[in-house]
Structures are given as structure tokens and as C-alpha cells.
Amino acid sequence: MSLKIRLSRAGSKKRPYYHIVIADIRSPRDGRFIERVGFWNPMLADENDRVKMDNERIQYWLGHGALPTDRVARFLDAAGLFKRKPRNNPNKAQPGKKAQERIAAAKQAEEEAKAAAAAPAEEAAQPTE
């Protein structure tokens, strides 16, 4: 049986509240779970009160092969229970194809303008015989 440490949504419309649960991967998000091990209330202003977890039980389930989802892994990494692999997507910060074309065209136009401005200055600097 594959286990996940994941979030289960509770709360009302536009007022989210999540339970951190241990669940079989085949069960629905808000459905059947094995054990409730904490909660996350993203609406609270104080960062310290937003996430509460039972660290002992989470350690137990991690030892029995439960894998956290990405959001829960962030919480566990902050608590020092689980080391999250850093993500690296260098292409995400790059502009799109059309934007890169516009940047290249602007750079080329700027170089041509500099060359055109430098040409008359060079002719004036050369002595005439």
C-alpha cells in the first residue's frame, strides 16, 4: 500500500483550512484517510500558528514509507523532518520566443544607431589632404 502525507481540504467557501493526513494514494483528496497528523490554516496572519504537526507521528509514517506531497514537504523541511530537493528550472525565468526576438531586434537597432553615429565622428577626426 502506497502512502502519502497530504492535505485534505476543510473549511467553507473562500475560507480554506487543511488537515495534514496520512492516506492511501488511491483515496480521494477529502475522502478516507488513515490518520490526521496536523493542520494548515493559510488564513492566519502569524506564520507560527499557521502549521501545527505531530512530529513524532510524521516521523513514524516517514519511516514506514509515506511520501509527502510538495506542499507538505515544504512544511516538513521547515520543521527539519524531511529534506526537500531544491527545484531548479532555469528556463522558467527566460522570456518567451517572441520577446527574445524583440530584444534581439532592439539590440541590433541600437548597435546600428551607434555605428551610424560613430561614422560621421570618424570622418571628422580624419585629416583631409
Helix (H, G, I), strand (E, B) or coil at 45: coil
What is the rounded CA–CA span in Å between residue 86 and residue 74? Answer: 10
The one-digit pLDDT tens for each residue of the chain (129 residues) are 699 999 999 989 999 999 999 999 998 888 888 999 999 999 988 888 899 999 999 999 999 999 999 999 999 999 999 898 887 888 888 888 999 999 999 999 999 998 888 877 666 666 655
What sign does the CA torsion over 18, 19, 22, 23 have? negative
CATH 3.30.1320.10 for the 3-79 domain, yes or no: yes
Residue 74: CB atoms within 10 A of its CB come to: 14
pTM of the model: 0.66
Q: State residue 93's pLDDT score.
A: 80
CA atoms within 13 A on the CB side of 82: 24
**3-state SS assignment for residue 100:** helix
- The DSSP element (H or E) to which 37 belongs, if any, is strand 35-40
pLDDT at 125: 67
Query: How are beta strands 51-53 and 67-68 bridged, if at all?
Result: unpaired
Element holding 47 (H helix, E strand):
helix 47-50
Q: Where are the domains of the chain?
A: 3-79
